[in-house]
Amino acid sequence: MKLRRALPIAAAVAMVAVPVGAATAASPGTLAAPDIPVANVQAHLGQLQTIATNNGGNRAHGRPGHKASVDYIKAKLDAAGYTTRIQQFSYNGATGYNLIADWPGGDANNVIMAGGHLDSVNAGPGINDNGTGSAGLLEVALTVAKDQVQTSKHLRFGWWGAEELGLIGSTYYVNSLTSAEKSVLKGYLNFDMTGSPNPGYFVYSSSGQPSGSQALENLLKQGFSAAGVQTEPTNVGGRSDHAAFARAGVPTGGTFSGAETTKTQAQATKWGGTAGRAFDPCYHRSCDNSGNINTTSLDRHTDAMAYTIYSLIGA
């Protein structure tokens, strides 16, 4: 376990991490958030690309590449000790799949969820949209398992189907919950596009967003600033799967590296990359493949994801 960033003392006291194979534990009063190795996230993206290539070039709802993506992630989580289930739904005459994974332990009345969509559009393999969020979530989940983290709050992950057709899978999941099951959800973090080739470092704005959480926004921002990365708030509105949770009153947040809109000169000065060019010129196109990834962005967004999740489950 690499020791990197100190978490708030309250979080550290509440969370007991058991370092596996580490010679020394974190010093008292600190708990290290993991530095997620970006190479591991890239390896998952390589597998998702292979799945698309072997299944007609995409991982879309109703196509075999989506189910194969679910099976890949589920097998990794099962082997790591997660309790997983596949939730089926029907849309547009095809069966859709959500993958839900629970890390055993923690307070069942205080549940933190993190998720993102695993389907692509029909046009291509969807490696940035949203292989990146999906692969990052998988690697953070595997790190929790490797560290055998004993959480204070209960931790659950979700990989949604049919987001590209209108947030179908995440909405189905939220609608399937009883009001008691909804009320124990204390936060939902969404990751949809984190490796854009001309990247931005956006954190979902909590203002003007129903159920947007200032606390989650602040933690995600801290995750980036701990690595020296400046962020901007962005109004994602109802454009991704957090929307279903927000409608149910669950506090939401997330990060985003940008899609079809154009990077400004000020943003290029701050973040590098090319002003006047889209954050992701291959958004929803066949060229959203393994080559369509900025590795630094993938690394930073995934590390901020880990920082935030580790902070929340221990607090």
- Which positions are annotated as active-site residues? 163
Minimum distance, C-beta of residue 253 to ligand DPN, in the bound complex (Å):
12
Question: With CB under 5 A as the contact rule, which of the stretches 27-35, 106-114, 130-138, 210-218 interacts with Ca ion?
Answer: 27-35
Closer to ligand DPN at the Cβ: 34 or 125?
Answer: 125
Q: Does 193 help bind ligand DPN (rule: CB under 6 A)? A: yes
303 binds Ca ion (CB under 5 A): yes
118 in contact with Ca ion (CB under 5 A): no
Residue in 129, 139, 217, 303 binding ligand DPN, rule: CB under 6 A: 129
Place of tokens 């006291």: 13
Q: Taking CB under 6 A as the rule, does residue 235 contact ligand DPN? A: no
Instruction: Give the per-residue contact string, 250-289, with ligand DPN (x = CB under 6 A; - = no).
Output: ------x--x------------------------------
Q: Which is nearer to Zn ion, 129 or 303 (CB)?
A: 129
Q: Which of residues 131-160 bind ligand DPN (CB under 6 A)?
A: none
**Is 163 near ligand DPN (CB under 6 A)?**
yes
- Other beta carbons within 10 angstroms of residue 2's beta carbon come to 10
- Binds 239: which of ligand DPN, Zn ion, Ca ion, none (CB < 5-8 Å by kind): ligand DPN
Cβ(65)–Cβ(127) under 8 Å? Answer: no
Minimum CB distance to ligand DPN smaller for 103 or for 256: 256
CA atoms of 50 and 72, how far apart (whole Å): 11
Q: Which residues bind ligand DPN (CB under 6 A)?
A: 129, 163-164, 192-193, 236, 239-240, 256, 259
Q: Which residues bind Ca ion (CB under 5 A)?
A: 35-36, 299, 303
